[in-house]
Amino acid sequence: MTRYVDSGAAKLPYYYNNPLWDKYLDSVLAICPQLASAYQLKAVPALKNGDYAKAYELDEQAAKLDSQQFVPYLGFLKCIFTKDYNGAIKDFDIANRIIPGGAEMDHDFYFYLGICYLELGNFREAGRNFEIDISSQRSGKSAGEVHFNSLLYMGLTQIGEDRSDSAINYLKECLHIYKELPEANYYLALIYKNKKEYDSTRKYLEIAKQSFLDGYTMNEDNLYYVNYPRQITLYEIDEQLDLLGR
């Protein structure tokens, strides 16, 4: 790996999109056909270019060879990239058995399980998983500030359960941590719209729009390549402002 990847492929210009990337990884696999990480690295260009069928074939092979490292990653890809929520749930259930309390891409497994159940409309199960995710961040040796996206998605789950007051509390806690998060401001505005509190609706929509224009995002590493569930666009914000009457 050091010879062909660290000292080779990783030094290529535009290395993931360089045609030589594949050749370096093929050289690794010719020597070490059971090396799981080589399959995962070979899949990266396909994933980033939207060729999910090719990427998944390679990532599934990686997961077969090293389930502890790559089953959680496969679940992440299904949850965030291809929105295969049932498939992701299966992978994260396996991951939780292999690595209880494990994490992938800056979030624990329960965060992704929560998103999957939220998107499938199972709000009770979504809330249960987000509660585990949030509780684990509030307690234990690594206790600290809860990730704002955990609070965002828990707020969205409360909206799904028609618990608007609880949703407001979670979204405001999210904004206390990251006041410019467009999604939290936008969904908070929608709650106030349903309550017919139009001054608050306009206030949070305008914050959402300005934050969006200023470049604030959900701050997840893969946003450049894929939209996260419930991520918003400027069009949606403008549409709601138009409905209010600018």
- Where b means 16+ CB within 10 Å and e means fewer, 226-242 reads bebebebeeebbeebbe
pLDDT tens digits for range 47-95: 888 899 999 999 999 999 999 999 999 999 999 999 999 999 999 999 9
pLDDT tens digits for range 156-191: 999 999 999 999 999 999 999 999 999 999 999 999
Q: What is the pLDDT of residue 140?
A: 65
What confidence tier does 130 reach under pLDDT thresholds 50, 70, 90? very high
What confidence tier does 16 reach under pLDDT thresholds 50, 70, 90? low
Using CA atoms, how far apart are residues 172 and 199, in angstroms rounded to an integer?
17
More confident residue, 108 or 142: 108
Question: What average pLDDT does range 98-125 have in this prediction?
Answer: 97
Query: Model pTM?
Result: 0.90
Query: Residue 239 corresponds to which tokens in the numbers above?
Result: 């549409």
Q: Which residue do the tokens 């502890």 mark?
A: 68
Q: What is the pLDDT of residue 142?
A: 61
